[in-house]
Structure 1
Amino acid sequence: MEYMLQVNKDPDEEVALEACEFWSAYCDAQLPSENLKELLPRLIPVLLSNMAYADDDESLLDAEEDESQPDRDQDLKPRFHTSRLHGSEDFDDNDDDSFNVWNLRKCSAAAIDVLSNVFGDEILPALMPLIQAKLSTSGDEAWKEREAAVLTLGAIAEGCFNGLYPHLSEANDKFPLIRSISCWTLSRFGKYLIQEGGNPKGYEQFEKVLMGLLRRLLDSNKRVQEAACSAFATVEEDAAEELVPHLGVILQHLMCAFGKYQRRNLRIVYDAIGTLADSVREELNKPAYLEILMPPLVAKWQQLSNSDKDLFPLLECFTSISQALGVGFAPFAQPVFQRCMDIIQLQHMAKVDPASAGAQYDREFIVCSLDLLSGLAEGLGSGIESLVSQTNLRDLLLNCCMDEAPDVRQSAFALMGDLARVFPAYLQPRLIEFLQVASQQLSTNLTGENLSVANNACWAIGELAVKVRQEVSPIVTNVVSALALILQHAEAVNKSLVENSAITLGRLAWIRPDLVAPHMEHFVKPWCLALAMVRDDLEKEDAFRGLCAVNPSYWMQHMNDQVHTF
Structure 2
Amino acid sequence: MPEQGSWRPTDKPQEGAWSPQESGVHQICYLLAQVQKPGSDQGQILQQLDQCKSYPDFNNYLAFIFAQGDSLPIEVRQSAGLLLKNNLKAQYAATTEEFRKYIKVALLHAIRSPSKPLRHVVGTNVAVIVGVGGLPTWPELLMSFVQCLESSDPNALEGALDALYKICEDAPVQLESEVATEAGTAQRASKMLVPRLLALFSSPYEDAKCLAVSIMNLLAGGAPSAVVEHMDTYLAGLFALAHDPSTEVRKPVCTGLVQLLHLQPERLGPHMQSIIEYMLDSTQCGDEGVALESCEFWSAFCEASVAQPDRLNPEILRPFLGRLVPVLLKNMVYDEYDEEVAAAEAAEEAAIAGRTLEDKDAEIKPFLPKNASRGEGGDDEDDDGEEVNRWNLRKCSAAGLDVLSTVFGDELLPIVLPIVEQKLREEDWRARESAILALGAISEGCANGLLSHLTEMVAIMLPMLLDARPLVRSISCWALSRYSYWIVQASVELNSQGKQQFDTVVAGLLTRVRDANKHVQEAACSALATLEEAAGRELLESSRITAILKTLAAALQMYGRKNLRILYDAISTLCDAIGGALAEPSLLQILMPPLQEKWASLPDTDRELQPLFECFTSLATALGPAYEPYAQATFDRCMRILTMQLQASGGGASIANGQHPPIEPEKEFVICSLDLISGLAESLGPAMEALVGRSNLRVILIQCCQDLSADVRQSAFALAGDLAKVAAAHLAPSSADLLALGVANLQPAMLRAESMSACNNACWSLGEMAVKLKPEELSPLAAAIVERLVPILQNMNSMPRSIVENSAITLGRVAWVCPGQIAPHLAHFVGPWCSALRSIRDDVEKEHAFLGLCALLRANPEAALTSWVQLCEAMASWRMMQDEGLRNELTLLLQAFKANLGGQWEHYWGVLEAPVREKLSIMYGL
Same fold by TM-score greater than 0.5? yes
**What's the secondary structure of 2:493's corresponding residue?**
coil
Task: Give the CA deviation at 1:551.
Answer: 3.7
Matched residue, 1:188: 482
Task: Give the CA deviation at 1:434.
Answer: 1.9
Task: Give the CA deviation at 1:360.
Answer: 8.3
Q: Which moved more, 1:236-245 or 1:262-271?
A: 236-245
Matched residue, 1:178: 472
Distance (Å, rounded) in 1 between the aligned partners of 2:291 and 2:703 = 56
Task: Give the CA deviation at 1:32.
Answer: 5.8
Q: Which moved more, 1:117-126 or 1:212-221?
A: 117-126
Task: Give the CA deviation at 1:243.
Answer: 2.1
Matched residue, 1:59: 340
Task: Give the CA deviation at 1:15.
Answer: 3.6
- The equivalences for 1:473-488 within 5 A come to 473-488=779-794
Task: Give the CA deviation at 1:497.
Answer: 1.1
Structure 1 gap ranges (5+)? 354-358
Structure 2 gap ranges (5+)? 1-275, 652-662, 874-926
- The answer on 1:147 being equivalent to 2:433 is yes
Q: Which amino acid in 1 is paired with 2:324?
A: L
Task: Give the CA deviation at 1:35.
Answer: 5.7
Kindly indicate whether the alpha-carbon contact (under 8 Å) linking 1:161 and 1:192 is maintained by their aligned counterparts in 2. Answer: no
Distance (Å, rounded) in 2 between the aligned partners of 1:91 and 1:244 = 29
Task: Give the CA deviation at 1:206.
Answer: 3.2
Matched residue, 1:541: 847
- The equivalences for 1:130-169 within 5 A come to 130-138=419-427, 142-162=428-448, 163=450, 164-166=453-455, 167-168=457-458, 169=461
| Count of matched residue positions in the alignment of Structure 1 and Structure 2 | 557
- The equivalences for 1:405-554 within 5 A come to 405-443=709-747, 444-470=749-775, 471-552=777-858, 554=860
CA offsets 1:231-289 (integer angstroms, 9 cap, x no match):
22222223222222222111111111111111111111111111111221111110011
Q: Return closer, same or farther for 1:519/1:180 CA change in 2, 3 Å cut-off.
A: same
Kindly indicate whether the alpha-carbon contact (under 8 Å) linking 2:774 and 2:817 is maintained by their aligned counterparts in 1. Answer: yes
Q: Which amino acid in 2 is paired with 1:340?
A: C
Kindly indicate whether the alpha-carbon contact (under 8 Å) linking 1:230 and 1:268 is maintained by their aligned counterparts in 2. Answer: yes
Q: Which amino acid in 2 is paired with 1:155?
A: A
Task: Give the CA deviation at 1:114.
Answer: 2.5
- The equivalences for 1:46-445 within 5 A come to 46-64=327-345, 65=347, 66=350, 68-87=356-375, 88=377, 89-94=379-384, 96-97=386-387, 99-138=388-427, 142-162=428-448, 163=450, 164-166=453-455, 167-168=457-458, 169-170=461-462, 171=464, 172-196=466-490, 197-200=492-495, 201-245=497-541, 246-352=544-650, 361-443=665-747, 444-445=749-750
Q: Which amino acid in 1 is paired with 2:816?
A: W
Distance (Å, rounded) in 1 between the aligned partners of 2:626 and 2:792 = 40
Distance (Å, rounded) in 1 between the aligned partners of 2:502 and 2:408 = 25
Distance (Å, rounded) in 1 between the aligned partners of 2:689 and 2:859 = 43
**What's the secondary structure of 2:774's corresponding residue?**
helix
Task: Give the CA deviation at 1:91.
Answer: 3.2
Task: Give the CA deviation at 1:72.
Answer: 3.2
Q: Return closer, same or farther for 1:447/1:564 CA change in 2, 3 Å cut-off.
A: closer
**What's the secondary structure of 2:422's corresponding residue?**
helix
Matched residue, 1:43: 324
Distance (Å, rounded) in 2 between the aligned partners of 1:511 and 1:54 = 67
Distance (Å, rounded) in 1 between the aligned partners of 2:797 and 2:488 = 36
Matched residue, 1:16: 291
Distance (Å, rounded) in 2 between the aligned partners of 1:244 and 1:134 = 38
**What's the secondary structure of 1:467's corresponding residue?**
coil
Distance (Å, rounded) in 2 between the aligned partners of 1:32 and 1:269 = 44
Q: Which moved more, 1:181-190 or 1:516-525?
A: 516-525
Task: Give the CA deviation at 1:445.
Answer: 2.0
Distance (Å, rounded) in 1 between the aligned partners of 2:283 and 2:402 = 17
Distance (Å, rounded) in 1 between the aligned partners of 2:414 and 2:759 = 54
CA offsets 1:390-409 (integer angstroms, 9 cap, x no match):
12222222222222222222
Kindly indicate whether the alpha-carbon contact (under 8 Å) linking 1:514 and 1:551 is maintained by their aligned counterparts in 2. Answer: no
Q: Return closer, same or farther for 1:161/1:210 CA change in 2, 3 Å cut-off.
A: farther
Larger radius of gyration: 2
Q: Which moved more, 1:300-309 or 1:3-12?
A: 3-12
The alignment yields a C-alpha RMSD, in angstroms, of: 2.3
Q: Which moved more, 1:317-326 or 1:73-82?
A: 73-82
Matched residue, 1:555: 861
Distance (Å, rounded) in 2 between the aligned partners of 1:226 and 1:239 = 20
Kindly indicate whether the alpha-carbon contact (under 8 Å) linking 2:706 and 2:713 is maintained by their aligned counterparts in 1. Answer: yes
Q: Return closer, same or farther for 1:528/1:263 CA change in 2, 3 Å cut-off.
A: same
Distance (Å, rounded) in 1 between the aligned partners of 2:732 and 2:863 = 39
Matched residue, 1:356: none
Kindly indicate whether the alpha-carbon contact (under 8 Å) linking 1:190 and 1:235 is maintained by their aligned counterparts in 2. Answer: yes
Task: Give the CA deviation at 1:377.
Answer: 0.6
Q: Return closer, same or farther for 1:430/1:204 CA change in 2, 3 Å cut-off.
A: same
Kindly indicate whether the alpha-carbon contact (under 8 Å) linking 1:454 and 1:497 is maintained by their aligned counterparts in 2. Answer: yes
Q: Return closer, same or farther for 1:556/1:401 CA change in 2, 3 Å cut-off.
A: same
Q: Which amino acid in 1 is paired with 2:329?
A: L
Kindly indicate whether the alpha-carbon contact (under 8 Å) linking 1:451 and 1:493 is maintained by their aligned counterparts in 2. Answer: no
CA offsets 1:107-166 (integer angstroms, 9 cap, x no match):
22122222322333332232222112211222xxx1211111111010010122342422
Q: Which amino acid in 1 is paired with 2:365?
A: K
Q: Which amino acid in 2 is paired with 1:467?
A: K
Distance (Å, rounded) in 2 between the aligned partners of 1:560 and 1:127 = 61
Distance (Å, rounded) in 2 between the aligned partners of 1:430 and 1:43 = 65
Q: Which amino acid in 2 is paired with 1:102?
A: W
Task: Give the CA deviation at 1:496.
Answer: 1.3
Q: Which moved more, 1:28-37 or 1:72-81?
A: 28-37
Task: Give the CA deviation at 1:7.
Answer: 4.2
Distance (Å, rounded) in 2 between the aligned partners of 1:344 and 1:160 = 50
Distance (Å, rounded) in 2 between the aligned partners of 1:522 and 1:56 = 67
**What's the secondary structure of 1:130's corresponding residue?**
helix
**What's the secondary structure of 2:848's corresponding residue?**
helix
**What's the secondary structure of 2:483's corresponding residue?**
helix
Q: Which amino acid in 1 is paired with 2:727?
A: F
Q: Which moved more, 1:148-157 or 1:180-189?
A: 180-189
Identity percentage over the alignment? 49
Q: Which moved more, 1:303-312 or 1:4-13?
A: 4-13
Q: Return closer, same or farther for 1:522/1:560 CA change in 2, 3 Å cut-off.
A: closer
Q: Which has the higher contact order (CA 8 A, sep 6+)?
A: 1
Compute the TM-score of the two structures, normalised by the length of structure 1. 0.93
Q: Return closer, same or farther for 1:55/1:96 CA change in 2, 3 Å cut-off.
A: farther
Task: Give the CA deviation at 1:4.
Answer: 4.4
CA offsets 1:486-510 (integer angstroms, 9 cap, x no match):
1112233322111111101011111
Distance (Å, rounded) in 2 between the aligned partners of 1:5 and 1:360 = 51
